Structures are given as C-alpha cells and as structure tokens.
Amino acid sequence: MVDIRSGTDRALGPAEVEDVELYHPHSWWTRYVFSQDAKIIAVQYASTAIAIGMVALVLSWLMRLQLGFPGAFAFIDAERYYQFITMHGMIMVIYLLTALFLGGFGNYLIPLMLGARDMVFPYANMLSYWLYLLAVLVLVSSFFAPGGPTGAGWTLYPPQAVLSGTPGGKDWGIVLMLSSLILFIIGFTMGGLNYVVTVLQGRARGMTLMRMPLTIWGIFTATVMALLAFPALLVACVMMLFDRILGTSFFMPAIVEMGEQLQHGGGSPILFQHLFWFFGHPEVYIVALPAFGIVSDLISTHARKNIFGYRMMVWAIVVIGALSFVVWAHHMYVSGMNPYFGFFFATTTLIIAVPTALKVYNWVLTLWRGDIHLNLPMLFALAFIVTFVNGGLTGLFLGNVVVDVPLSDTMFVVAHFHMVMGVAPILVIFGAIYHWYPKVTGRMLNEAMGQLHFWVTFVGAYLIFFPMHYLGLIGVPRRYYEMGETAFVPASAHTLNEFITIVALIVGAAQIVFLFNLVWSIRHGREAGGNPWRATTLEWQTPETPPRHGNWKDLPVVYRWAYDYSVPGAPEDFIPQNQPGPDNLTRETAT
Amino acid sequence: MAVVVILVLLAAGSVLFHLLSPWWWTPIASNWNYIDNTLIITFWITGAVFVAVVLFMAYCVFRFRHRPGNRAAYEPENKKLESWLAAGTTLGVAAMLTPGLFVWHQFITVPDGARQVEVVGQQWLWSFRLPGADGRLGTSETRDISPENSLGLNRNDAAALDDIIIEGGELHLEIGKPVKMLLRSVDVLHNFYVPEFRAKMDMVPGMVTFYWLTPTRTGTFEVLCAELCGVGHPQMRGTVVVDSAEDYQTWLTSQQTFSQLMAAAQTKETAQAGNAAPAR
C-alpha cells in the first residue's frame, strides 16, 4: 500500500496514458463563450448560478416582507406569495447550490487539484453548461407565462401541483417547472459523468485516491450520488408531466375538485413523495458533501495544520453518501405512509449523525494546536461549523420520528433546513470564493468589503434562523401566507417576525457588497501571485495564474498527500504535493 | 479576536434565548406529553453538544491564533481519540432514539375500544363524521360524492345511514376517551393539525390515514391545515371542542345523521322543482 502522506518514487508507476493534446480554441467565441475549457465553464456555471441566486434572494425579501408586515404590500397576494416561496426554494436548492458546487467548483477544481489538463470529455462538459443555462431560462420564463410560475411549494406535491387551486397548476407554471428540471437533469448527467470519469481516470501520476484533497472527495462522492438520485426525480417529473398534459393518473387518485368529479383515478400521491425524496434526501448531501470537503481544505490551509484524521474524513464522506440513500422517508413521517416505516427511517437517520459528528470533531481538532490565520476563508469556515452544528443538531429532533410529529410542517423545519443546507453551505461557498478567487483572476478580493460581508452575513443569518425555530415550537405552520388571529400564537411572535424580516433585508443587502467586490476586484484587487495562501494542493502550483488552457506545461507528479503543513524539520510550513522528498521528514513523526 | 467574542456570545446568547424568551409551546391538551418529554431530552443533549463545540472552537481560536514565530503541531491521526468520540456520539444518539422509538410505538398503537371519528378535508373546509347508534362508520367512496352527499357515503350501506355528519362545523370530543382520528381527503393533500394535541397527519386522497389521542383538557382549540393545499391553505381552519361527558352527550344528540340530511335535501329538491327554480 502506498503511504498516503508521502512516498518515494516507488509509488509511481509509469505513465499509463499518454499526454493528449486538447482542442484549442481558434476564436473569441470558442475561447470564452462556447468554451471547452473546464475553467471557463466553471465561471459560466458560477456566474449563471449567482445571477439566478440573486432572483431567489429578491424573492426571499418579498416573502419576508409579507411575513413581517402582513398585508402592507398589496402586490404580494396569496397567489404570488406561494409562487415566491416555490421559486425561491427550487432556485436555491437546484439551480444555485447544486449547480454552483458541482458545475462551478467541480469544473474548476477537479482537473486542477488532480493535475489533469482538463475534464476527460470537454465537449460534453460544454453541452452540460448550455443545457443548464437553457433550464434556467425555461425556469425564468415561467415568471412571464400566463398564470405565472407554479406555487406548489418546491416539493411540487401532487395532486395539488397540477390542479387549479394552486397557482400555475392548470396554467403554464407547473409545465415549465417540470420541463426545466428535466433539462437540468440531462445537463447535469453530462457534467456528472465527466467529473466521475475525470476523478477515476484523469489523475496525475502519484495522485492515489487516498492522496486526493477532501474537496475532491466531497465533490466526487456528491456527483456519484447525484447520478444515482436525479433519475428518481426525472421519472417523477416525466410522470407528473404526463398526468398534467396527457391526463394519465400516475399520481392522481379519484378526486372531487371544488365539487366537480375529475377524470383521474387509481394513482398514488404518496408514490410521488417517495420518488421525490429518494432524490431529495441525497440532494441534501449532494450539497453538503462538497461543502464538507471544501471546508476541510480551507481549515487545514488557514490553520497551517494537516486535516485531523484524513482517512476517517474520507470514509465518513463515503458512508454518509451511502447512508443518505436509505433515510429518504424521514421527510414523510406524517405523510400517511405505513407508520412502521418510522422505526426503520428514524434509526437510519440518527445513525447518520455519527459519521457527521465525527467530521465536525475532526474540523475542530484540526484547529487544536494549529497556527490559525483568521483570513476571510477561515472566518467563513468557522461560521460554517457553528451553523452546521446548529442545523445538524435540530435535525436530530426532526429525524427522531415521534419528535418530528409536533414539529413537522412548522417553522421549526424551515429554520432547520435553512440553517443546515442554506446558510451553512452558502457560508462555505463564500469562503471558497474568497479562497480561490485569486487563482481564478490573479487578484485578491478586497479585505474590508469582505469583512463587512462576513460579519453581517454570519451574525445576521444566525439571528434570522435561530429564533425562527421557536416560532415552530409554538406551532406556527410553514407555508402560511398569513397567520391571522390565532389563540395559541402570542402577539409577541409577530414582533419576532418583524425582527426576522428586518434582519433578512440587511443580510440580503450585504450580498450586494459581495457582488460589487467580485466585480471590482477583477481590476482593482491586490495582485495575488501564484500561491497567496501558501497552500499545498496542485491548483496553487500552476506555472501561470490564472492557469491557461491545459493548466500545466508538463503534467505534475505527486509525491505526497495534500496536507503536509508544518511538517517538523521542513524549512517552510507547507510542502506542495508535487515536491519530491525528503520523505523521511514525515516518516519519523508519523509512527 | 472579534470572532472569539462573537462565538462565546453566540453560544451564551442561544442558551439564554432558550431559557428566557417567551416563545414556547402552547399548553398540551392530549396524552402526548410523552412527545414533549422526548423533545425536552433532545433539547438538553443537543444543547450541551452545541455549547461544547462552539466554546471549544472559541478557545482554539483564542489559544492557537497566529502570532509571529508560531508553528502548528503535526498530528495526522489519533485513533484512540477518534474511537472515544465515535463511541460517545453513538451513546448520545441512542439516548435520544430509544425513548423516541418507544413513544412512536405508543403513537401508532391505537388502544382497543378507541372511538372512531372521521375527518374529511377538501379545499378549504373541514368536515367530520361520527358513527351512529351502531358504533360503526359506513363505507364511503370519492366517486359517490355529489352536492347532496358531500362526503361520498354509501347509500346502500346500513352502517352509513345513521352516521352523524358535521359539514364545516365544530367537532366535539369527550375528555378522557381515546379517539382514533380517521383522516380522508377528497381533493388534495391536507393535514389535520391541532397544536394542543401535538399530533398531526397528512390526509391523502385515495386512502385513509389515522392517528389517535386522548383529550386531557376541556376547551376550544383551533384546527389548522399543515400541508400546503393551494392558495386557501392558511384560511383552512376549524374548531375542536373538548367537552365533559355531559356536554358531549348534549352536543351529540343535536347532530344530524346521513339519512336525515338526505331526506332534507330531497324535500328541498322537490320544493325547488315545484317552484321551477334553477337547480343550484
């Protein structure tokens, strides 16, 4: 077995695959628009995701205005409110988080961190982005379609999703939503196969699987999961589209709608929920695992210390990925499914807490006896741990079947999933952008704007979502356009809602500072140099910054793991992965 | 350094908020205080873990922050420590899961002799049905729903004819008597949710779901729909009244049965036909 930390040339086999020449662009169009360079595609994915994410941000403002000040804004009627929450949820989960982590960071980092010239199928990679863009455009078009976008909630539960009591149910809304998802999944599959094959086949010599940075482990595992989970959503979308357009009854039982007998019969609404969550729960980890991976590397680099328990971290990622396929029905404890499922799914769900908790311990133990540089990426990583631990722990309430019963469908759930899969992964995205922006552009992001952005976002997001749990504990249901006068909700809860809305407006505004910083620093940022964080991983060792098409002059050779920070006896506090020997440095202390 | 202060404040603030804020659950009115107890156990265990992790982080940042000349330790793994942490976590998880599953078993095991009450959801209205003198609910079918038979009861089923039907009105329950709520929907998903009962369950067209409870406190409680069911979702409210045995009987005798309702509809229809008024 090859030692993961460092090895001699014995670990290196001869090159199995000859270095190949890439297709080089001949014009501005093929260089920057129809580009086959994974780095350009990554920027395209990220820009599109951030752009559509801004739409989701505005939608969240609008819905918070209604919740904080019910009725004060006449144009936010019930119909629009439900359209806003639906589109906000879908955009954030699929079109922002999934696309940005896998399409954005995946494309940029996989070839660079593994020492490859590009993805193995550059053309399919390009198609993947253009299908994604098309999916986004179809989604956006539903805002302008007759009847507007669907208001079925992001879970799109039938039968209501395709009936007239729901906005967009009998108009274009639901059709465009389902079509957009289908396009997204086809596009993702092209990209996803690419990432998997590149990780398995495109690594530099010496880059064994157990020497890969955790970022790559996270993205790789998430991609494998997505390739297995998205087909469930695809068939669910196709079947619902048939129910809506062709009048089939996959999900439609006998229904009397507003006094009128419909022509449907024999279908099962719960079948859709099983398909949806068979995708939907792995989806949580499709977003979380890349975040886990990235944050591990941010912490290690900025604490100048190897990630604690690397092998445990890798196995935890793989185990979490596998377990996440057998927990889906914990979203359905009160759905009316056979109640005996509750025993099984509560047990599997709480078992996942163990590998997840081990990851948290290893992050904080990496800080222990480190040399912590409080750079912006590190600050975001710390904020991630706080919000992720908070959101993960409230997951233990909702996963524990009987505790879920009073809390399910209340604001507690909203607070929980925003904390754990909204705020926490987005904080990692911010940290990652502050970390890798210098590689992408050659310049640092502005520090003062970054500090402002960090503090408002972190403290603000916590102030929004921590108290929100208690609204759910009172019993305030989620997806209520207005609570009205209700005996069990004290008047003070309305004050809390106003407070949450005001903080949400401020946190949203802070994101504009971030966007400005992204644009401003391209020209005005401080020159970064090739390796501003003095990091070990390969992307920081490229001959040029930003790396050109093909990434390397000669392909790098890897001699050690990604975490040789502060190795005793080494002249510097980091040793790049492609630096050969002396390997006895680590051997002595390792045992 | 600011980050150390903020982390400590955040941990302390969260605990104080939990203890001092006025926002807590509404007083319970059913036997499901077991659920409340499990929730409290979960709060204590998770709260302790949260505070411990955040404070440990704050300490690390304070103690090991970068100063010129510092160098981090080199410690790739510590098998012993990792095993201890895994074992401790497993124990904590088991401490929450065990009572949870135990109470879930109670939750899904309806006691013998529980009375049956049917709740029917439609956009955006609650209706209820109680067994008549025979103590049984008759069969029903969504296909049989018509203007005069809004719950789709089977007219050929003798057990259905004496069923008591409450359309859009209040449901009354008797204190101390276990009751099995049979949940049915005629159009889309709904969810019968009374915060004071702590229980809730989706209502799914095409099937009958259930939960059970024993009301433990008299009073009037609001019914909410807890599953997004269209634009009228937040307006879908109803009322449950928990009565003493005496009040319950008084209320029960004043309710109409299915056959009475049908007879009334027929009379109305004949009258309308006589006046040549439009059918609706």
Chain A hits for B104, CB-CB cut-off 8 Å, are: 339, 342-343, 346, 401-402
Interface test with B, best of A256, A300, A376, A480 (most B CBs within 10 A): A256
Which residue of A254, A270, A354 is in closest CB contact with B86? A354
DSSP conformation class of B193: E
pLDDT at A591: 36
Element (H, E) at B118: strand B115-122
Residue in chain A closest to B3 (alpha carbons) equals A379
Per-residue model confidence as pLDDT tens digits over B56-82: 999 999 999 999 988 999 988 888 999
Which residue of A361, A496, A590 is in closest CB contact with B76? A590
Interface test with B, best of A369, A401, A402 (most B CBs within 10 A): A402
Structural domain includes residue B152: yes
For B110, the 3-state DSSP assignment is coil
DSSP string, A199-224: HHH-PPBT--GGGS-HHHHHHHHHHH
pLDDT at B147: 87
Pairwise CB contact (< 8 Å): A354 & B89: yes
The C-alpha atoms of residue B186 and residue A258 are separated, in whole angstroms, by 10
Question: A393, B49 in Cβ contact below 8 A?
Answer: yes
Q: How far is B191 from chain A (nearest CA, A)?
A: 9
Give the residue from B31, B25, B24, B26 showing the smallest Cα distance to B173. B31
- Identify residue A583 by its one-letter amino acid code: D
Centre a 10 Å sphere on the Cβ of residue A460 and count the other Cβ atoms it contains: 20
Name residue B102's beta-bridge partners. none
Pairwise CB contact (< 8 Å): A256 & B142: yes
Q: Are B141 and B218 in a shared domain?
A: yes
Burial of A103 (0-12, 13-18, 19+ CB in 10 A): buried
Residue in chain B closest to A493 (alpha carbons) equals B23
Q: How far is A409 from chain B (nearest CA, A)?
A: 6
Chain A hits for B222, CB-CB cut-off 8 Å, are: 486-488
Element (H, E) at B167: strand B164-167
Q: Which residues, 6+ apart, have CB-to-CB distance to A480 below 8 Å?
A: B233, B234
Pairwise CB contact (< 8 Å): B89 & A353: yes
Q: Which residues, 6+ apart, have CB-to-CB distance to B57 below 8 Å?
A: A364, A367, A382, A385, A386, B7
The C-alpha atoms of residue A154 and residue A239 are separated, in whole angstroms, by 17
**Domain total in chain B:** 2
The angle that helices A78-90 and A38-68 make with each other, rounded to 10 degrees, is 150
Residues 135-154 on B with a CB inside 8 Å of A are 141-143, 145, 147, 152
Which residue of A374, A473, A490 is in closest CB contact with B3? A374
> Which CATH number does the domain housing residue B161 bear?
2.60.40.420
* B180 CB within 8 Å of a chain A CB: no
Residue in chain A closest to B76 (alpha carbons) equals A308
Copy the structure tokens of residue A112. Answer: 């660079």
Pairwise CB contact (< 8 Å): A467 & B85: no
Q: Which residues, 6+ apart, have CB-to-CB distance to A586 below 8 Å?
A: A5, A6, A560, A564, A567, B74
- Identify residue A27 by its one-letter amino acid code: S
Which residue of A335, A396, A408 is in closest CB contact with B46? A396
Give the CA radius of gyration of chain B.
28
Which residue of B36, B56, B203 is in closest CB contact with A364? B56
Q: Are B131 and B251 in a shared domain?
A: yes
A581-589: long-range contacts, CB 8 A cutoff, minimum separation 24? A581/A6, A581/A8, A583/A6, A583/A7, A583/A8, A583/A559, A585/A6, A586/A5, A586/A6, A586/A560, A586/B74, A587/A6, A589/B74
Which residue of B38, B75, B191 is in closest CB contact with A308? B75
The C-alpha atoms of residue B208 and residue A339 are separated, in whole angstroms, by 13
Chain B hits for A473, CB-CB cut-off 8 Å, are: 23-25
Pairwise CB contact (< 8 Å): A253 & B108: no
Name residue B209's beta-bridge partners. B183
Chain A hits for B105, CB-CB cut-off 8 Å, are: 343
Q: Which residues, 6+ apart, have CB-to-CB distance to A427 below 8 Å?
A: A380, A381, A383, A384, A387, A457, A458, A461
Phi, psi of B179 (to 5 degrees): -135, 135
* B239 CB within 8 Å of a chain A CB: no
- Identify residue B248 by its one-letter amino acid code: Y
Chain B hits for A256, CB-CB cut-off 8 Å, are: 122, 142, 145, 152, 186-187
Residues of chain A with pLDDT under 70: 1-17, 582-591
Q: How far is B124 from chain A (nearest CA, A)?
A: 9
Q: How far is A479 from chain B (nearest CA, A)?
A: 6
Reading phi first (left if > 0) and then psi (alpha if -120 to 50, else beta), residue A333 is in: alpha
Q: How far is B96 from chain A (nearest CA, A)?
A: 8
Q: Are B12 and B126 in a shared domain?
A: no
Question: A382, A354 in Cβ contact below 8 A?
Answer: no
Question: A330, A281 in Cβ contact below 8 A?
Answer: yes
DSSP string, A314-382: HHHHHHHHHHGGG-GGGG-TTTTS-TTHHHHHHHHHHHHHHHHHHHHHHHHHHHTT--B---HHHHHHH
DSSP conformation class of B174: E
Give the residue from A5, A2, A1 showing the smallest Cα distance to A581. A5
Q: Which residues, 6+ apart, have CB-to-CB distance to A271 below 8 Å?
A: A250, A251
Chain B hits for A475, CB-CB cut-off 8 Å, are: 25-26, 195
Q: Are B162 and B102 in a shared domain?
A: no
A vs B: CB pairs below 8 A: 325
Question: A226, A287 in Cβ contact below 8 A?
Answer: no
Chain B hits for A163, CB-CB cut-off 8 Å, are: 187-188, 230
The C-alpha atoms of residue B250 and residue B229 are separated, in whole angstroms, by 34
Residues of chain B with pLDDT under 70: 273-280
Residues 55-84 on B with a CB inside 8 Å of A are 56-57, 60-61, 64-66, 70-78, 81-82
Residues 183-212 on B with a CB inside 8 Å of A are 183, 186-189, 191, 193, 195-196, 198-207, 209
Q: Are B178 and B234 in a shared domain?
A: yes
CATH placement of domain A35-250+265-590: 1.20.210.10
The C-alpha atoms of residue A332 and residue A314 are separated, in whole angstroms, by 30
The C-alpha atoms of residue A45 and residue A99 are separated, in whole angstroms, by 7
For A6, the 3-state DSSP assignment is strand
Chain B hits for A382, CB-CB cut-off 8 Å, are: 3, 7, 57, 61
Q: Are B250 and B205 in a shared domain?
A: yes
- Identify residue B171 by its one-letter amino acid code: L
Per-residue model confidence as pLDDT tens digits over A491-501: 999 999 999 99
Chain A hits for B19, CB-CB cut-off 8 Å, are: none
Which residue of A5, A477, A493 is in closest CB contact with B193? A477
Residue in chain B closest to A77 (alpha carbons) equals B231
The C-alpha atoms of residue A547 and residue A38 are separated, in whole angstroms, by 11
Structural domain includes residue B224: yes
Residue in chain A closest to B195 (alpha carbons) equals A475
Give the CA radius of gyration of chain A.
24
Burial of A242 (0-12, 13-18, 19+ CB in 10 A): middle
Residue span of the structural domain in which B9 resides? 2-64+81-108
Cα A87 → chain centroid: 17
Pairwise CB contact (< 8 Å): B57 & A385: yes
Q: Are B181 and B89 in a shared domain?
A: no
Q: Are B174 and B250 in a shared domain?
A: yes
Q: Are B222 and B132 in a shared domain?
A: yes
Residue carrying the six token digits 């004949």: B270
Give the residue from B220, B215, B223 showing the smallest Cα distance to B245. B215
Q: How far is A420 from chain B (nearest CA, A)?
A: 14
Question: B213, B30 in Cβ contact below 8 A?
Answer: yes
Pairwise CB contact (< 8 Å): A160 & B205: no
Pairwise CB contact (< 8 Å): B234 & A78: yes
Residue in chain A closest to B147 (alpha carbons) equals A259
Q: How far is B219 from chain A (nearest CA, A)?
A: 12
Residue in chain B closest to A388 (alpha carbons) equals B50
Question: A376, A441 in Cβ contact below 8 A?
Answer: no
Q: Are B162 and B97 in a shared domain?
A: no
CA angle A399, A404, A408 (to 5 degrees): 115
DSSP conformation class of A420: I
DSSP string, A169-191: SSSSHHHHHHHHHHHHHHHHHHH
* B42 CB within 8 Å of a chain A CB: yes
Q: How far is A353 from chain B (nearest CA, A)?
A: 8
Residue in chain B closest to A483 (alpha carbons) equals B234
Q: How far is B178 from chain A (nearest CA, A)?
A: 18
How does strand A260-261 pair with strand B171-174? unpaired
Q: Are B104 and B122 in a shared domain?
A: no
Q: Are B220 and B255 in a shared domain?
A: yes
Please tell me the number of Cα atoms within 13 Å of A439 on its side-chain side. Answer: 27
Chain A hits for B108, CB-CB cut-off 8 Å, are: 339-340, 342
